Amino acid sequence: MASRQLIKHATDWAVILISIIAALLLSDVNPDFHTFCVLDMNLSYPFRPSKLSLPVFILLSIILPVITIILVTIFTPFPSIQNSERNSRARIRKLRSLNAALLGLGVSLGTSTVVFTGVKSLTGKPRPNMLSICDPDLENIVKYTVGGVGVEFNRLWVMVTLDICRQRDTAALRDAFRSFPSGYATIAFAGLWYLSLFLCHRFGVEILPSSSPRNIQNIPRLENDEQHEPLLPSEAQLNDRASRPDSNQLEALPVYKLLLPYVPLGLAIFIAGTRYFDFRNHGFDVLAGAFVGSVTSYVGFKMYSTGNLLT
């Protein structure tokens, strides 16, 4: 049983790594370059340095969730066990819980990366600052015109191709047509919203309304059933083994436990917002990226938040 689980988890990690590598390779594929109008004000924003550099973005969106999940899992006390054999089992459960949490994060990040890189290449939507990167050759615009009846009013009021750009940096031009969806917003929500889900589950914070009150009595006892233990146990499930109250009252939560899980969500919103006020993505592109990241993080969390995969 243990060897089968090991092979299964190793396969899961291999699939995640392969999907991320495939997504990175897609980033070198030329997008579907749209024709555009040089008078389009939505594409005329100036180019300015990003307020959030790529290394800082990776640190906040990927490394921070990984480190937090490791620390929370390691320093979370498991139920008191009476003998060395049970202590050994507790350590094994902790490692399995950590592996499950990181696998869920990997699924979220890997899936979201494949989705946004693929969609970027298919849509080829220009960024808000595309014209400042393109540096169009307006003197010879007739040479690059492919459509539009606005020429009757203004010679620049036509649709032109990418060939009008005097920018010779192929990578810069390729990136200028990758606005939809926002990659920063997608990864930020895939990593940090997953972290929020993990912390909410770990500290027993309800995100969605539940059909029954969240109390310690409703949590099943799994002392002698290791095969069905949750991969990501919550604090209430861990503490239930020591004592079980006779009343059916709701367990009170400290204020910090209510606020802490939502700090990553606020950080994800800030990261996504920088792409809008830095003129790197249109507003809808940021919202679409946040939606994709939220969906993949929820799917990744639900895949490993129960013990179903242990059977």
In a domain, 151, yes or no: no
What is the pLDDT, as a whole number, of residue 251?
54
- For 258-290, write each residue's pLDDT tens digit: 788 889 999 999 999 999 999 999 999 999 999
In a domain, 87, yes or no: yes
In a domain, 117, yes or no: yes
**Which has the closest alpha carbon to 219: 241, 197, 194, 190?**
241
**Contact of 94 with 70, CB cutoff 8 Å:** no
In a domain, 140, yes or no: no
CB atoms within 10 A of CB 264: 25
In a domain, 167, yes or no: no
In a domain, 146, yes or no: no
**Contact of 184 with 57, CB cutoff 8 Å:** yes
- Average confidence (pLDDT) over 12-36: 86
In a domain, 41, yes or no: no
At residue 216 the predicted structure's pLDDT band, cuts being 50, 70 and 90, is very low
In a domain, 109, yes or no: yes
Q: How many domains does the chain have?
A: 1
End-to-end CA distance of the chain: 9
Q: Is the pLDDT of residue 191 over 70?
A: yes
**Contact of 233 with 226, CB cutoff 8 Å:** no
Query: Higher model confidence: residue 200 or residue 89?
Result: 200
What is the pLDDT, as a whole number, of residue 224?
42
Query: Higher model confidence: residue 173 or residue 206?
Result: 173
Q: Which of 104-113, 145-154, 281-290 has the lowest mean pLDDT?
A: 145-154
> What is the domain extent for residue 108?
2-32+50-127+174-310
